[in-house]
């Protein structure tokens, strides 16, 4: 179907279709490793080639380091080398991030996702110093995570260029959406670029992103894989169709409910119970669940 449009950079390091996986809890709100194994296997069986564990959607602010590592070990045992496992190691404390990076490496992570320090609002020089410390802690490849809407600060273009010179920093998850800034950086830096915002998946692929790190992929892993593959094969008509009829419909619900709430409610409707989010994040209401059910039916995933 036309000329291949695949951007190969970093695919073997971070994957192409990644899901920022929720952390399953039981009815008491405790970590449910069995449910974590089953969810990971389900996603991988349906075309996901990379899982981000203990990211924001994995409720990293409200899970302990021990819980993060236990989930990583359980998922590693379950899916083995069938998927790349990217461990969320980003916090707003450099020392804690270093410790988490080392523990994730020891638990079998293939790579790290390191979000910009949130709330603290460090300077760009502080960002560089933070990332240098985390990068020096292990030899695992690092994917930067630029999400100023949550962290309070962007990673500026000059900072990205500087960080890209650090050998282990090899990717960037972009939830900033500044295509004008990013398009030349993708080519200049050689970083593997990932869409970190589901409504922008196709635009990101069009400017050279390697893949997506998705939340709606919980509910539509197979269709998300088909959408990315269709793009890579040059079948833009099918790419646009899946994006319009499935991904954008689900992304509307994600925007309403929030990532963890959306993903956990959607999975429950599909018969995969991973519990409710931990406070301060709340589960969907009955009315919200009915609205979600209608949109999931419309999107062809229920």
Q: Which residues are catalytic?
A: 145, 173
* CA nearest to 85, candidates 21, 9, 34: 21
108 sits in the region (left: phi over 0; alpha: psi -120 to 50; else beta) called left
Q: Residue 145 is inside which H or E element, if any?
A: strand 142-146
Provide the 3-class DSSP secondary structure of residue 272: coil
- Distance separating alpha carbons of residues 192 and 210, to the nearest angstrom: 6
Q: Are 116 and 155 in contact (CB under 8 A)?
A: yes
Q: Are 134 and 114 in contact (CB under 8 A)?
A: yes
Q: How far is CA 139 from CA 104, 111, 220, 269, in A?
A: 12, 9, 33, 40
Q: Are 144 and 130 in contact (CB under 8 A)?
A: no
Q: Are 95 and 47 in contact (CB under 8 A)?
A: no
Measured CA angle at 117 (ends 115, 119), to 5 deg? 130
- Distance separating alpha carbons of residues 282 and 261, to the nearest angstrom: 7
> What stretches of the chain show up as alpha helix (H) in DSSP?
11-14, 33-45, 65-79, 94-106, 124-137, 148-151, 157-163, 179-189, 201-206, 221-232, 236-242, 248-257, 259-269, 286-298
- Distance separating alpha carbons of residues 71 and 77, to the nearest angstrom: 10
């Amino acid at each position: 179907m036309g000329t291949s449009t695949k951007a190969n950079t970093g695919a073997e390091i971070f994957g192409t279709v990644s899901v920022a996986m929720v952390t399953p809890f039981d009815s008491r709100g405790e970590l449910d490793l069995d449910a974590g194994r089953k969810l990971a296997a389900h996603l991988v069986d349906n075309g996901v080639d990379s899982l981000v564990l203990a990211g924001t959607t994995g409720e990293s602010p409200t899970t302990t380091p021990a819980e993060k590592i236990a989930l990583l070990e359980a998922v590693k045992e379950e899916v083995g080398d069938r998927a790349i496992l990217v461990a969320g190691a980003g916090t707003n404390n450099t020392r804690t991030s270093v410790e988490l990076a080392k523990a994730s490496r020891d638990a079998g992570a293939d790579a790290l996702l390191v979000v910009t320090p949130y709330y603290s609002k460090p300077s760009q020089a502080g960002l560089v110093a933070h990332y240098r410390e985390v990068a020096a802690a292990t030899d695992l490849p690092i994917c930067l995570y630029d999400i100023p809407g949550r962290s309070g600060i962007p990673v500026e273009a000059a900072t990205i260029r500087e960080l890209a010179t650090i050998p282990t920093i090899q990717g960037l998850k972009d939830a900033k959406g500044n295509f004008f800034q990013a398009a030349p950086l993708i080519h200049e830096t050689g970083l593997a670029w990932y869409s970190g915002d589901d409504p922008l998946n196709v635009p990101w692929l069009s400017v050279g992103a390697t893949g997506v790190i998705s939340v709606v992929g919980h509910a539509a892993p197979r269709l998300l894989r088909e959408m990315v593959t269709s793009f890579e094969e040059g079948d833009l008509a099918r790419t646009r169709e899946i994006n319009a009829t499935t991904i954008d419909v689900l992304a509307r619900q994600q925007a309403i409910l929030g990532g963890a709430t959306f993903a956990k409610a959607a999975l429950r409707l599909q018969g995969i119970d991973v519990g409710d989010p931990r406070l301060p994040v709340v589960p969907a209401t009955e009315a919200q669940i009915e609205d979600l059910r209608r949109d999931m039916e419309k999107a062809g995933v229920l």
